[in-house]
Amino acid sequence: MKGVTNSPPLVPISEVIWSWIGGFFGIASVAYLNQLYFTDNDLIFIIGSFGASAVLIYGAPNVPYAQPRNLVGGHFISALIGVTFFKFLPDPIWLTSAMAVATAIACMHLTKTIHPPGGATALIAVIGSENIHQLGYFYAILPVLFGACLLLIIALLINNIPDSRQYPQFWR
């Protein structure tokens, strides 16, 4: 096919460095707070979906799914949905997992907050540890909402240092 390349273009090294710096400080801030305040409670403050969010907001800050509304709203809505399904349909776990993730996707679409890591946030509410389950709806506030906001603050700071980046592209 004419004009088709075999691989994506290389990212400038400056983008790689800024992505690394953002990812480091974003995850370090969430993990450090977990260590300070939640060492007896599992790693409840640093959920796996935050790693995927870091890839988006620091590694691809211009894409729609990386924007503040998507980051915060997608995680929060998905957390509420995951907790709700676990509370009211805890078994069988395969059905609860599928219902939570699928409903999170639908609700993120309807609210214009699609953030792919949100699907993992809903799933973590279902399959997470007993410590996650004991949080109930508080899971949507801490770690999810607070953690997403902390990642956003770091993204606003780091992504606007170099002239080559501007974050966010839009708020609403």
pLDDT digits (tens, 9 = 90+) for 121-163: 999 999 999 989 999 999 999 999 999 999 999 999 999 999 9
List helix spans (H) across the chain. Answer: 13-37, 49-59, 68, 74-88, 93-110, 117-127, 130-135, 138-139, 146-158
What confidence score (pLDDT) does residue 123 get?
Answer: 98
What is the distance between the alpha carbons of residues 130 and 127, in angstroms, rounded to a whole number? Answer: 9
Spans of all domains in the chain: 13-158
Average pLDDT over residues 105-123: 98
Structure tokens at 146: 């607070």
For the chain, the farthest-separated pair of C-alpha atoms sits apart, in whole angstroms, at 59
CA-based nearest residue to 168, from 55, 47, 70, 92 = 70
CB neighbours (10 Å) of residue 41? 14
pLDDT in tens, 6-60: 788 899 999 999 999 999 999 999 999 888 887 666 667 789 999 999 999 999 9
Q: What angle do CA 65, 67, 71 make, to 5 degrees?
A: 75
Within 8 A by CB and 6+ apart from 80, the residues are 137, 140
pLDDT in tens, 57-82: 999 999 999 999 999 999 999 999 99
